[in-house]
């Protein structure tokens, strides 16, 4: 007989979510919902309307402090796409360096969140990143160093690693970096991080493979349960616009397709009213939703819309990038974790390549910045967590319409599918593999109350 269990709140990811699951007699999920409980903000999209095209991306940066670069770049480039502004090469190179720096720090930060579920390979000891003991101590220090490199480079190029201030601006960047010191500093930092990242990637991959190979596992030191085969598998497709940077409607060869995007309301997607019938006070730390009999209603509670691509949920993120552009084929939660680690080296190599190609005396602002005639423009940025698409219409320098489709929003329904077949006690491991960023996902809900119809098409 099917029972309902709920983990609320979930932990070790950005934001506020819960897992509401129906499970069979063995505790295996038969239908699961992972949903955002993060209160809907005023709504960046609504707020941006009427503001200048220069200000809107700075507001959207504030959606998230882990991946502000993604929102700033996607926002700025959507504005540029709408007004038809091509930025100078050196501005683009600076943006690439920023992109790499941000991904480096973000992936390293996520390691800290994931490691407590994992074991020191070959032992039954869960990894506590805060322990002063080896070998974990060195791993933690290495993670800090990689983050420091990412954030310092973000500081030099972006003015600020959290909410870049200097760049970008519509039309390019405010400033180039000054020769030769800043250029050398970025180069040195990247070189310093290179061998660390190599070791770190190898270590992290061995940790995730070790977990995958275990017959039993627990979440961060809780009760051991038997793992199931195909842990975290799903049959949804992938969506990515590039391995590193992104794509926009200015590109000749566009890699994201607005006409394939539709959005449904949580009402149409999540489970209806349920009653919690299974409770585990020992679930670490603090137990599951008590008491038995509590009413839950995912369809009403979810705070995000449900974006679909070709009418179905898709996965976006590191694995989607590698699967689409590099023939990567490892499935499941650990397949996604491993793909994320595989992106480390590209962050650093691309950073080095871009800083080498950069002319620090080069122009970084377009000569002409058109004011826009209300045409639709979009830009997809490959944020650490996946494709972050911003769409906008700019008229006379002002934002007429603005919409954000962020990675974690895309992943919500996909994760819900990927929970099926897993023991409920390990479902947080699946969710964490997606590196959720829920304040990104909940920047606002796009709902047209007047229309009860499922999909909201972009092109009327």
Partner 1 sequence: MVLGNYKNCVSARAADPAILSASQDGGIVTQLFAFALEEGIIDGAVVAGPGDEPYKPEPVVATTVAELMEARGTRYTICPNVSMIKEATRSYGLDKVGVVGTPCQIQAVRKAQLYPMGMRSVGDKIALAIGIFCMENFPYQGLETMVEDLCNVKMESAVKMDIGKGKFSVYTARGAVSQIPLKMTHKFEQPGCHVCLDYVANLADVSTGSVGSPDGWSTVFTRTKKGETIWGGKAIEAGYFETKPIADVKPGLDLVTKLATDKITKNQKTLDERASFGVDKGLRNPYI
Q: What does the binding site for partner 1 look like in residue numbers (CB under 8 A)?
A: 152, 155-157, 159-162, 166, 175-178, 181-186
Cα gap 271→30, rounded to integer Å: 12
- Least distance in Å: CB of 151 to partner 1? 9
* Residue with smaller CB distance to partner 1, 148 or 251: 148
Question: ∠ CA 373-375-60 to the nearest 5 degrees?
Answer: 100
User: What minimum distance in Å lies between the beta carbon of 110 and partner 1?
Assistant: 22
The least distance separating partner 1 from the CB of residue 185, rounded to whole angstroms, comes to 4
Nearer to partner 1, 118 or 162 (CB): 162
Q: How far is the CB of 188 from partner 1 (least distance, A)?
A: 10
Q: Which is nearer to partner 1, 161 or 318 (CB)?
A: 161
Look-up: residue for tokens 């709902």?
A: 447
* Count of other CB atoms within 10 angstroms of residue 208: 25
Judged by beta carbon, residue 28 or residue 59, the one nearer partner 1 is 59
Our CB check for partner 1 shows the closer of 70 and 97 to be 97
Smaller CB separation from partner 1, 352 or 389: 352
Please, are residues 411 and 385 in contact by the beta-carbon 8 Å criterion?
A: yes
Number of neighbouring beta carbons within 10 Å of residue 194: 17
User: Rounded to the nearest whole angstrom, what is the least distance from the CB of residue 358 to partner 1 in the complex?
Assistant: 12
Between 4 and 354, CB nearer to partner 1: 354
Q: How far is the CB of 190 from partner 1 (least distance, A)?
A: 13
Q: Which is nearer to partner 1, 12 or 163 (CB)?
A: 163
Which one, of 438, 375, 417, lies nearest residue 80 by Cα? 375
Shortest distance in whole angstroms from residue 159 CB to partner 1:
5
What is the smallest separation between the CB atom of 181 and partner 1, expressed in angstroms? 4
Please give the structure tokens belonging to residue 193: 């991080």
* Choice between 185 and 330, CB closer to partner 1: 185
* Contact (Cβ atoms closer than 8 angstroms) between residue 340 and residue 318: yes
- Minimum CB distance to partner 1, residue 165 (Å): 8
- Least separation in angstroms between CB 18 and partner 1: 34
**Beta carbon nearer to partner 1, 12 or 175:** 175
């Amino acid at each position: 007989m099917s029972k309902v269990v709920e983990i609320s709140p979930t932990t070790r990811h950005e934001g506020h979510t819960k897992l509401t699951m129906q499970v069979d007699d063995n505790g295996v999920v038969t239908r699961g919902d992972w949903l955002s409980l993060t209160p809907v903000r005023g709504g960046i999209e609504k707020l941006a309307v009427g503001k200048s095209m220069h200000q809107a991306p700075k507001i959207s940066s504030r959606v998230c402090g882990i991946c502000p670069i993604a929102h700033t770049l996607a926002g700025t480039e959507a504005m540029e796409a709408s007004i038809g502004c091509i930025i100078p090469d050196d501005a683009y190179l600076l943006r690439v360096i920023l992109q790499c720096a941000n991904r480096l720090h973000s992936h390293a930060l996520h390691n800290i969140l994931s490691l407590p579920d994992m074991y020191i390979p070959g032992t039954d000891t869960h990894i506590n990143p805060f322990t002063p003991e080896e070998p974990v101590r060195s791993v933690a220090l290495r993670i800090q160093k990689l983050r420091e490199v990412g954030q310092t480079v973000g500081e030099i190029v972006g003015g600020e690693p959290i909410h870049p201030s200097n760049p970008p601006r519509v039309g390019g960047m405010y400033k180039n970096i000054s020769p030769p010191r800043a250029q050398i500093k970025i180069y040195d930092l990247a070189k310093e991080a290179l061998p660390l990242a190599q070791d770190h990637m190898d270590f992290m991959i061995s940790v995730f493979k070790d977990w995958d190979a275990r017959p039993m596992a627990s979440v961060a030191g809780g009760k051991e349960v038997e793992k199931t085969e195909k842990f975290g598998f799903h049959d949804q497709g992938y969506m990515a616009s590039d391995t590193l940077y992104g794509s926009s409607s200015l590109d000749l060869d566009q890699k994201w397709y607005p006409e394939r995007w539709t959005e449904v309301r949580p009402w149409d997607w999540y489970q209806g009213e349920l009653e919690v019938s299974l409770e585990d006070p020992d679930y670490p730390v603090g137990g599951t939703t008590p008491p038995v009999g509590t009413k839950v209603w995912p369809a009403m509670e979810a705070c995000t819309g449900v974006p679909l691509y070709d009418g179905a949920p898709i996965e976006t993120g590191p694995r989607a990038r590698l699967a689409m552009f590099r023939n990567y084929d490892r499935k499941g939660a650990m397949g996604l974790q491993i793909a994320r680690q595989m992106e480390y080296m590209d962050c650093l190599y691309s950073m080095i390549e871009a800083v080498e190609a950069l002319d620090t005396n080069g122009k970084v602002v377009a000569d002409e910045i058109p004011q826009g005639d209300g045409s639709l423009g979009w830009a997809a940025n490959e944020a650490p967590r996946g494709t972050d698409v911003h769409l906008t219409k700019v008229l006379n320098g002002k934002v007429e319409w603005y919409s954000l489709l962020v990675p974690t929003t895309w992943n919500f329904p996909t994760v819900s599918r990927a929970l099926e077949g897993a023991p409920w006690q390990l479902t947080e491991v699946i969710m964490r593999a997606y590196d959720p960023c829920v304040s990104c996902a909940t920047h606002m809900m796009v709902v047209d109350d007047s229309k009860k119809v499922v999909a909201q098409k972009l092109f009327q």
